[in-house]
Copies of this chain bind each other. A is one copy, B any other.
């Protein structure tokens, strides 16, 4: 693969979803303990009482109580979070793909002969329908051209600048405003109880690291993502620098997630959060450990406040992260907790009025 992502990863990352936003599925199964406890400090204030909130509170209670047989020593408290669709909006287009498309004019300006070369020509045309139909190899060319070939410092500066100016067309806000407030609260709650929180994303590791500290309170070294190699070299003045290379080191999706967790963390998580088939192996790996482990999946069933998509709701698959019926069945069988955005979350975004 000569891309920052593999084609299996890109497969999930097409540009425009053709999905109709049908009414949301509302028949959430009710599992868990009937009597709902609450956190005493209001840590999970954007969560409705229910089995999902209960599962989080019970897990933290059991793993941090020294008298509990499920107690976990602080240094082993690792929690991993998928990003796209789990921590922020992924539908209808992955934010990083928007970044790459937006970078095409700058790439062409630097190398004008690309102007009449596909797929750059199509992207420059602005024809959304044609862009949506770009093939996977074409998409890869765009990712390689916009994510590699520059120094790490240049990439960081470009991505940072874009994040301050680009806006999501639906909410008319910076993409980093589209973080799910309830998930921020879970991360803070876990950190407050001695857990080290990691992002484990199919998205680009370098991209997410640009904003992870500011947005999630997660430092760059706790972001595991799809990663390309870099090449050490020297500027003319002798100063060393790293260049981003079109060489895939880690395809951090599906089986690549537990593999990436082993490479970058070296411990099995005690808690894992996802929202799609790309997270299945991470949750399985987490669940295979001893003691108590928290496995949670976010279900996009709120067409009004966010989106509703995926066969698990009887809806057509989205072209982004897909929560299939098979994943839903596995979650049910293994007693993983499914989070209903519609029922479990009082509010979705920090900028909303309080519920």
A205 neighbours in B (Cβ, 8 Å): 263, 266
Do residues A240 and B152 form an inter-chain contact, with CB atoms below 8 A? no
Q: Separation in Å of the A236 CB from the closest CB of chain B?
A: 14
Q: Is A259 an interface residue (CB 8 A)?
A: yes
Indicate how many identical chains form the complex.
2
Q: Is A160 an interface residue (CB 8 A)?
A: no
Do residues B264 and A220 form an inter-chain contact, with CB atoms below 8 A? no
Q: Is A242 an interface residue (CB 8 A)?
A: yes
Residue total for A at the interface (Cβ-Cβ under 8 A): 37
0 or 1 for each of A229-249: is its CB under 8 Å from B? (1 = yes): 111100000011110000001
Partner of A259, one of B213, B242, B288: B242
Query: Provided the pairs A240-B281, A240-B284, A249-B250 are in contact, do residues A262 and B75 lie with their beta carbons within 8 angstroms?
Result: no
Give bound CA distance, A157 to B181, whole Å: 41
Q: Is A221 an interface residue (CB 8 A)?
A: yes
Residues of A near any B CB (own CB < 8 A):
75, 78, 152, 196, 205-206, 209, 213, 219-221, 223, 227, 229-232, 239-242, 249-250, 255-256, 258-259, 262-267, 281, 284-285, 288
A255 neighbours in B (Cβ, 8 Å): 231-232
A220 neighbours in B (Cβ, 8 Å): 265-267
Q: Separation in Å of the A90 CB from the closest CB of chain B?
A: 23
